[in-house]
Structure formats: C-alpha cells, structure tokens
Homo-oligomer: A and B are copies of this chain.
Amino acid sequence: MEVKLPTFDSVFSIDCVIFGFDAGELKILLIERNEEPFKDWLALPGYIVEQDESIDDAAERILYELTGLRDLHMQQFHTFGEVKRHPQGRVITVAYYALIRINGQKEVKPVTQYAKSAFWHPVNDLPKLAFDHSEIFNTGFNKIRRRLNYQPIAFELLPEKFTLTQLQSLYEAVLNKKLDKRNFRKKMLSYGFLKELDEKQKGVSYRAAKLYKFDRRKYAKIFQNELNLVQ
C-alpha cells in the first residue's frame, strides 16, 4: 500500500557530511530517519532552513538537533538543485561538511523526533542512503580530499595531542593510499607548524610515540599563500 504524502512548493534545506576519525578509520555521521519519506532509511543529517536564519546558522542548528553536536566549523561545499530530488516537492539543498574529533566518550544523539538515532559509520562500505545523499557524500568526500592539500583540515580530525603515525594514517585514510613514513615525517616537520611536546603516548603495549600539537599561529603565518601539504 502506498502512503500518500503531502506536497509542498519549494524549500531550502541543509545536509551535513560530518567526518570523524577514530581508531585509524575515517567515519561519517548518519541518522536513522523517523519520518516519511524514506522512513527507517539511513541518511545524512539534514533539514529545512527557516525563514529568518542564514544558511550557515541553519547548518549549525540542524546538525545540533539531529546529532547533539555543537560549535563545529561547518563549511558549505555544494548546492544540489535537481528538480526531482525529493518526492514531495522542490527542494534545493546546500551541503556542508565539518571535521571533528571523535573522542571515545562523545556520544551523538538526536534532540528531535525527526531522527531515531545518530551514529558514526566508516566511510568505506556505506550503505545506500536516502534521497540523493550518497551522491552528496561522494561530492563532499572528494572536496575534503582535495582540501587536505591546502588547508589544515587534518588537525581538526585528530585529538589535540597526536602522534605522527596518527597524522599519517589520517592522510592515508583520506587520500586512500600508503605514504612513506620517513618522507611524510620529514615533510610535515619541515613546515614548522608542529610543536613537539614533552609528553609521550600512554596506554599502548609497545614503544610510546612522542606527542605533537598543531600550532595554528605558525600555520597561519606560513600558509598565507596556500601550498600543497602533501605532494
């Protein structure tokens, strides 16, 4: 039996592709929908922009409502405006991405009834998503892959203190290729925006690695004219 849905004329909406990095794996945030159409499907967090809020504000609000996450640095990357994207009417969607540290403890949980749940899912082997969200995800993933080379986005995904191996495995996850350890370290250190700490990794069952911090001020100075960080 087919459910008859109401229709509407035309709305703006926001969809969010939120990347996290955890246990050497790149993940994105998905929700389980609780409303028709695509009820029970997995989808990107997204909803409708209000009359009196900018799209940037809307992106923050919507992400919060659907996942409980706040104060991310979200950036728009593409607008999807095909006519038949949404079964109920005309929807033009501005897609945003953000990068975030997943600390084991950080729980994600919808604040509204619109989503049943929210959770992290590895970017490899994503299931089919609602609407054209698979396409939106792909577009976003390609964007950050490219931006990795000229913006310090890697550091938003890592904890404040990180090891060079963690940094490298993040690059490898995003670029989807192996990098040479010695060359990677040489290059990263040569930029001068990594601050070596007097601290070591803890709780590992092998030789502990030195911890580093990302020095935002040095970065800003050096990269006024953007460069490629990795080949």
Per-residue contact bits, chain A 60-88, to B (CB 8 Å; 1 contact, 0 not): 00000000000000001011011100000
**Cβ of A81 and Cβ of B52 under 8 Å apart?**
no
A116 within 8 Å of B (CB atoms): no
**Cβ of B55 and Cβ of A90 under 8 Å apart?**
no
Per-residue contact bits, chain A 73-110, to B (CB 8 Å; 1 contact, 0 not): 00010110111000000101010000000000000000
Task: State which residues 1-31 of A face B: CB under 8 Å.
Answer: 9-10, 12
- Give the nearest-CB partner of A94 in chain B: B79
A183 within 8 Å of B (CB atoms): no
**Cβ of B92 and Cβ of A51 under 8 Å apart?**
no
CA of A55 to CA of B85 in the docked complex: distance in angstroms? Answer: 12
A198 within 8 Å of B (CB atoms): no
CA of A218 to CA of B146 in the docked complex: distance in angstroms? Answer: 22
A125 within 8 Å of B (CB atoms): no
**Cβ of A53 and Cβ of B94 under 8 Å apart?**
no
Contacts of A83 in B (CB 8 A): 52-54
A49 within 8 Å of B (CB atoms): yes
16 residue pairs bridging A and B, Cβ less than 8 Å apart: A10-B10, A10-B51, A12-B12, A49-B81, A54-B82, A54-B83, A55-B79, A55-B81, A56-B81, A58-B81, A76-B78, A79-B79, A79-B94, A92-B92, A92-B94, A146-B226
The 4 closest A-B pairs by CB, nearest first: A55-B81, A79-B79, A54-B82, A79-B94
